Amino acid sequence: MATINLTVNGQQRQVDVDPEMPLLWVLRDELQLVGTKYGCGIGSCGACTVHVDGIAMRSCNLPVGNLSGEAITTIEGLSENGDHPVQLAWLEHDVPQCGYCQAGQIMTAASLLANSPDPDDAEISASMNGNICRCGTYTRIHAAVKTAAK
């Protein structure tokens, strides 16, 4: 066990955990930020995507001990009132079906647009490719990313 200081959604947080504990479980079980989802646990599905210093990263295989001083953003901290352009575009296109993967999808899309404000179709597809949706909402996801980029 170790005491680890984190910056999560702009707030200083302190947790006493095994430094090897994946960030996902610190967020969900220690900080009660349950918007970030567990899917595969091996970095393959994207359900657990958060931002670390603005970059989309899988939290299920990211040891929390490596993250002191990094700015972590979860879906709860992406915007004040759910009004991030990506969230608004998701509503406009009625993207989710079951919804389970959507926090991860939105976090990946938000990171893409923060780093590339006007991506072409190929860039959107390449960036979103690692986020799996079992309901197959990919067409709406792609359209919503394009809308958010406008």
Size of the site for ligand FES (CB under 6 A): 12
What residue number has its CB nearest to ligand FES?
60
Q: How far is the CB of 40 from ligand FES (least distance, A)?
A: 4
**CA pair distance 137, 5, nearest whole angstrom:** 37
**Longest pairwise C-alpha distance within the chain:** 46
Between residue 60 and residue 79, which ones bind ligand FES under the rule CB under 6 A?
60
Taking alpha carbons only, the member of 85, 92, 87, 101 closest to residue 138 is 101
Binding-residue pattern over the window 36 to 55 for ligand FES, x denoting contact by CB under 6 A? --xxxx-xxxxxx-------
Quote the CA–CA distance of 123 and 136 in Å, as a whole number.
Answer: 19
Q: How far is the CB of 145 from ligand FES (least distance, A)?
A: 19
The CB-of-69 to ligand FES minimum distance in angstroms stands at 23
Output the smallest distance, CB 46 to ligand FES, in A.
5
64 in the Ramachandran plot: left (φ > 0), alpha (ψ -120 to 50) or beta? alpha
Among 58, 84, 93, 140, binds ligand FES (CB under 6 A): 58
Chain contacts with ligand FES (rule: CB under 6 A):
38-41, 43-48, 58, 60
